[in-house]
Chains A and B, each alone.
Chain A
Amino acid sequence: DTAVSQTPKYLVTQMGNDKSIKCEQNLGHDTMYWYKQDSKKFLKIMFSYNNKELIINETVPNRFSPKSPDKAHLNLHINSLELGDSAVYFCASSQDMIGTDTQYFGPGTRLTVL
C-alpha cells in the first residue's frame, strides 16, 4: 500500500505546454507539500497546504499553481513550461504542521521539458 503516490512518474513535454502532476496520500495527514529537486540534486520547498489551505508559497513563479481538492490530494499544475522547469518534483505529507511531524515523500515525478 503506497502511502504517498504521484502520477505520472515521468513526464516529457515541449516548451510552452501546460501539464499537471497529481499527488495522493492515504495516511490521513492534514498537510501536504511540493518540493523541487534540480539537476544538482538540490531540494527546495515550493508549496505547502494544510487542510486544503495554502500555507507556504516560496516565491515560485505564478505559472505554478497548486490545487488541493481535498486533504488527501495536492496537484501541481504548470503553465507555459520552460526549459528550467526540468526537475524532479516531490510531493510529501505530514500529520500536521507542528515540528514533531515527519514528512513522508512520494516517489517523485521527473519532468523533462524539451
Chain B
Amino acid sequence: AQTVTQSQPEMSVQEAETVTLSCTYDTSENNYYLFWYKQPPSRQMILVIRQEAYKQQNATENRFSVNFQKAAKSFSLKISDSQLGDTAMYFCAFMEYGNKLVFGAGTILRVKS
C-alpha cells in the first residue's frame, strides 16, 4: 500500500519569510497525483496545490510552489512571503487508483508576526 510521510510535526516561520514543508511517499505506480491541502483552525480542508507525476515541471500557485523529485519520491511545499493567514495544518496527499487520497500525518505551520 502507498504511504505518505511528513517528517516535520511542527514548524514556525516569521511573517514574510519562506518556509519549506517536506513530504515523501512510497509507491510502485508510475502515474499518480500529489496534493497539498491546508486545514486552518476553522477545520475546512482547502486544496493548496496539485502535481501530476507525469509532468516534470513543478506546480506553482501564487506564493505556493512545490519541488517534485520523482526519482526520490519527494514532494515538498514552499511557501514564500509567509502570511499570518497561512497558519494551519498542512497535509500532503497521494492519489491512488480509484481516486482514493492517502494522507500524511500533517505538519502544523505557525506564522509569527
Q: Do A and B bind each other?
A: yes
CA distance A90 to B97 in the complex (A): 20
Residues of chain A within 8 A (CB-CB) of B98 are 48, 55-56, 97
Within B85-113, the residues touching A (CB, 8 Å) are 89, 91, 95, 97-103, 105-106
User: Known contacts A45-B101, A105-B45, A105-B46; can you find 11 more A-B pairs with CB under 8 A?
Assistant: A41-B106, A42-B103, A42-B106, A48-B98, A48-B99, A56-B98, A97-B99, A99-B32, A102-B47, A107-B42, A108-B43
CA distance A102 to B59 in the complex (A): 15
Q: Check A77 for interface membership: any CB of B closer than 8 A.
A: no
Main secondary structure of the interface of A (DSSP, over half): strand
Task: Sort A-B residue pairs by CB-CB distance and give the 3 closest, nearest first.
Answer: A105-B45, A43-B103, A97-B99
Contact between B33 and A99, CB atoms less than 8 A apart: yes
CA distance A102 to B93 in the complex (A): 11
Q: Count B interface residues, CB 8 Å.
A: 26
Residues of chain A within 8 A (CB-CB) of B106 are 41-42
Knowing A41-B105, A41-B106, A105-B45 touch, does A48 contact B91 (C-beta < 8 A)? no
Q: Check A7 for interface membership: any CB of B closer than 8 A.
A: no
Shortest Cβ distance from residue B88 to the other chain A in the assembled complex, whole angstroms: 11
CA distance A40 to B102 in the complex (A): 16
Contact between A102 and B89, CB atoms less than 8 A apart: no
CA distance A94 to B91 in the complex (A): 18
Within B25-78, the residues touching A (CB, 8 Å) are 31-33, 35, 37, 39, 42-47, 50, 52
CA distance A10 to B98 in the complex (A): 30
Residue ID in chain A nearest B91 by CB atoms:
A43
Residue ID in chain A nearest B96 by CB atoms:
A99
